[in-house]
Structure 1
Amino acid sequence: MRRHDHRLPDVWLGTNFWSRTGGPLMWRNYSPAVVRQELRVLHDHGLTMTRSFFYWPDFQPGPERLDEEKISHFADFLEAHAELGMSTVPTFIVGHMSGENWDPEWRADRPIYSDVWMVSQQAWYVEHLTRRFADHPAIAGWLISNEIPIYGGEAPEPVVTAWARLMVQAVRAGGGHQPVSIGDGAWGLEVSGHDSGFSVRRLAELTDFVGPHVYAMETDLIRSHLKAAFICELAAVGQRPVVLEEFGLSTDFASGAKAERFYRQFLFTTLTAGATGWIAWNNTDYDDLAAQRPYSHHPFEMHFGITDSQGRPKPPLKALGEFSRVLGTMDLPRCRRADVDAAIVVPSYLSAGYPFHDETQRRLAAAHGEQAYIAAKEAGLPVGVVREEEDGGLPEGYRLYLLPSVKELAAPSWLQLADLARGGATVYVSYCAGESPGQRGPWWTSPDELFGVRNDLAYGLNDPVDDVITIRFTADLGDIRAGQTLEFTAAGNENSRAYLPVEVTDGRVVAVDRNGRPMIVVKDHGSGRAVLSTIPVEHFAARRRGANPEDTWRLYQALASLARIPRPLGVEDPLVLVDSLEREDGVVFHILVSEHPDQTRVRVSGGAALTDPDGTPVGETVLLEPYGVAVLLSGGGPEAAR
């Protein structure tokens, strides 16, 4: 099945840009020479664009009035881009930046989204700025705001969507024909489980791309490296191209080598997750602005730069340059993600806003999907991320459906799972009691029909597990043989650290714990089957520090074997993640990402002749640098690769 693969006409690889002459106040301290020096460094490392900012208090000093001096500076800024063949995406409503909010003086605390006069002022501002610059060849696109939920606050979804529609219409009224999006960070319900009013799905109806802002911190290294990739999968819910509109780190929080490592991992894992643009935060450091807000009170914000305050490249820029060269080799606009036979199901409870359903459980659905995504990557199993529809219903056509640590699924979907199994699919579900004490227990339908079990729960209680659960297979499951064991470390709170006691009816027990209790049960349905894990293995890992890799990947590998899913490139190492992109001329680019802290040599298999990007044949093994990346080609020679 096809995975989401919506792309902009051009690949965006660049950086958010504030000149070192002033940060957000750069337009008051504008230096054409410094800007050109800054852009030249970016250009020489393969970056092709920037995201720029109309700092609102400066560009609209009064109602229906623009500052002509600032506009002339921005016009020169565009010319500086054009001189290098670069482009930029301007951002209109810039009231929040780097840990502080700034209002135009005339706003007087009027609501951003619902005050009619205030909305009209924003629309006037957007339209007139667009009209000034819409025909300039250096304009690549438009963004309405910068993280406006932080500045304008949250609001009901219909209000936010109506405001956004008027802003996009203002761009079009001003002659803006380039791609446009909102700039809200894509932090809405469909991605985070928190309802801010900024619905990714609803805003996609108005816009041309979705732009996640990703700065999440973690307690697990592999989870940290793959978090943005999974966010890309979730953000594609609106069927729009995904642009990593902001990402990066302050080098106050990481050494140079580890900052470079983070960038490399981030870029290549999001490439195979369907991203079509990458705009780092940000172009430079601001050591000379230590006395200026916001840097005076958020000093770490001075050091997000990919160059230092003198314009010298920092390690993240090296990773960006390397990535740029790979994208050039691939000719990314002609590539698409390889088809997959396996899907991770995201329950509709993440984003449907069902009544009397709490945010704790919504967020858990995202966390469990993320951990399943990690385990699938460790298993060498390319997956799609699909969503249950709000009225029930799952997309058909996959050989393997993974439903990780599920408490809730809509009633019609449980019935459909049995139909999918009868149609030949392998359906895997693991149970989770959830972290909320309210209505604790499985919101499931017909487990007897699907799995061949009846629950043996006592009302209002849960069934705790040991600190470490060792499951022993009493029968083969895919490529796991009878007698082999898997081990899982329990985690979670007093509600979720539990298993599902069952009485087996016509299912087959294939794995038990040390007490002989059923841990894995299989029920055959014609040519397909349903597989039940009575313990929430994904939940345990999602709630643990430094959990990955853990044995869920081995279970997923067995499920893939059971479902007869072929792997185009086999790597028998959970610390080497593999996925691929296919170009329209038949060349396949296999992306190997190492999670090993040391240099390692891995064995690869798959039948097709492999080369490196230069056309040199690759043998049975590939050498990977610590946390490094390798790109291998099949389906064409060096001429095709170029």
Structure 2
Amino acid sequence: MNHPSPSVPRLGVNYTPTRGWFHHWLDFDDASGMDSLRRDLDSLAALGLDHIRAFALWPVFQPNRTLIRGRAVEQLGQLVDAAAERGLDVAVDALQGHLSSFDFVPSWLHSWHRRNMFTDPDVVDAEARYLETLAASLADRPNFLGMTLGNEVNQFSDKPHPDPDVCTYEQAGQWLERLLTACERAAPGRVHTHSEYDAVWFQDGHPFTPAHASRLGRMTTIHSWVFNGAAQRHGRTGTGTVHLAEYLIELSRAWATDPHRPVWLQEVGAPAPLIPAEHAAEFTEATLAAALTCQDLYGITWWCSHDVSRSLADFPELEYGLGLLTAERALKPGGRVVADLAARLKSDPPPPAAPRRTALVLDAGAEDTAPLRSVCAPGGTYFEAWMRLAAQGVRATAVLAGRAQDPGHLAARGITDLIHPQDVG
């Protein structure tokens, strides 16, 4: 089924509850907890956003391999219904999995019960049942966008994770296809996706590959974080920093088989101290403006809605201040930038982004596995050449070397000019 991008990209936020962070699921039935949830959603609707991304904590929802808690599933439905009352659509992530440096893995997967989440047949069956249960419970709700399998679950598969669930490229693809099929079976036609952190684009030998990201699921999802070396090399206002999200969107197109595959900028944020708080609004405005020049952009979902409360311990320092609003729901400068953009998108919608005529040719090795993809990382020859073009005002896309001589492929994407990294001055 084809899912074209909307005429105007969607604009939303990754929802981080102010009361208890994602541990709010443990107190969901508490009256003050529901009141806090509603006030959180009111504060997001007031920004003019059209959707949120919500996260189920996997051990809370499926504490035993054969037990999916019915009450937790009902509570997820209540969250989606509360969002609908405020005009907000909801995308749901299931396998959490990994959030803000913490791993949330059910007890039946580690220590005495150690199993591989990607390859153990019983575990994969249980994951499929869980995803299918959540998707089926939401399928009839008009404001349910679809499932994302989990948040950056690829980090469990390889270094630098301290205890990885090792798998091969083939096994990663089989896992993704099995779970995406379960979501589609339960809620046909919705936007079912998977998400990875940027090892998928940058880390040689990583089992989750650009081909997986750009071909499986209804659309490609991008998680753009400038602490990956971009801001360290290019500085707070450098081209390689404020154009990182745009770059990743265009990089993903090199592997896509659909020339108009939608791309969802599913996570992007302004992490301190690389982006100091007093400069967050400037970074937010520049990053969003660059991303909106990309064709077939489905939407942008900022990380995150509200700051993490300082009453909660042991988060990396940068995680506490990423919200558009404070933990007390006060609007921050970056939140004002997003709210202003939401208003402009509604009152004066921009014309659809034009195709990018210039493409930088990428050789990352074999197309399916991209064994040389580290050239795409900050400091890599491809990354730095693309950013030099951007600094010169050239809005380039990416094309694989093996497709650069295919006139049909180039024509389908509107590409008329090819540049090689070694030719970029």
Which amino acid in the other structure matches residue 343 of structure 1? A
**Cross-structure match for 2:386:** 373
Aligned 8 A contact 2:239 2:391 in 1: no
Q: Larger Rg: 1 or 2?
A: 1
User: Aligned pair in 2 of structure 1 residues 246, 350: CA closer, same or farther (>3 Å)?
Assistant: farther
| Match of residue 9, structure 2, among 8, 11, 20 | 11
User: Aligned Cα RMSD in Å?
Assistant: 2.7
Secondary structure of 1:119's match?
helix
**1:105-504 paired onto structure 2 within 5 Å:** 105-107=107-109, 108-153=113-158, 154-185=166-197, 187-188=199-200, 191-192=201-202, 194-217=204-227, 218=231, 219-220=233-234, 221-236=238-253, 237-238=255-256, 239=258, 240-251=261-272, 253-274=274-295, 275-291=297-313, 296-331=314-349, 335-349=351-365, 351=367, 362-363=375-376, 367-389=380-402, 400-405=417-422, 430=423
Aligned 8 A contact 1:43 1:84 in 2: yes
Residue segments in structure 2 that go unaligned for 5+ positions in a row: 159-165
Of all paired residues, the percent bearing the same amino acid is 19
**Cross-structure match for 1:26:** 24
Please state how far the C-alpha of 1:348 moved relative to its aligned partner: 4.6
- Per the normalisation by structure 1, the TM-score is 0.57
Aligned 8 A contact 1:346 1:366 in 2: no
Please state how far the C-alpha of 1:378 moved relative to its aligned partner: 3.7
Which amino acid in the other structure matches residue 162 of structure 1? Q
Counterparts of 2:378 and 2:15, CA distance in 1: 35
Aligned 8 A contact 1:46 1:321 in 2: yes
Please state how far the C-alpha of 1:46 moved relative to its aligned partner: 1.5
Aligned 8 A contact 2:359 2:398 in 1: yes
Counterparts of 1:359 and 1:253, CA distance in 2: 25
- Per the normalisation by structure 2, the TM-score is 0.84
Aligned 8 A contact 2:58 2:105 in 1: yes
**Cross-structure match for 1:42:** 44
Secondary structure of 1:349's match?
coil
- 1:179-200 Cα offsets, whole Å, 9 max, x none, are 1111223642xx3253322123
Q: Runs (4+) of structure 1 moved beyond 4 Å?
A: 350-354, 357-360, 363-366, 390-399
**1:45-124 paired onto structure 2 within 5 Å:** 45-107=47-109, 108-124=113-129
Please state how far the C-alpha of 1:171 moved relative to its aligned partner: 0.8
- 1:218-244 Cα offsets, whole Å, 9 max, x none, are 222221111111111011232321111
Counterparts of 2:379 and 2:346, CA distance in 1: 34
Greater relative contact order (CA < 8 Å, ≥ 6 in sequence):
2
Alignment coverage as a number of residue pairs:
393
Higher helix share: 2
Please state how far the C-alpha of 1:209 moved relative to its aligned partner: 0.9
Which amino acid in the other structure matches residue 244 of structure 2? K
**1:600-611 paired onto structure 2 within 5 Å:** none
Higher strand share: 1
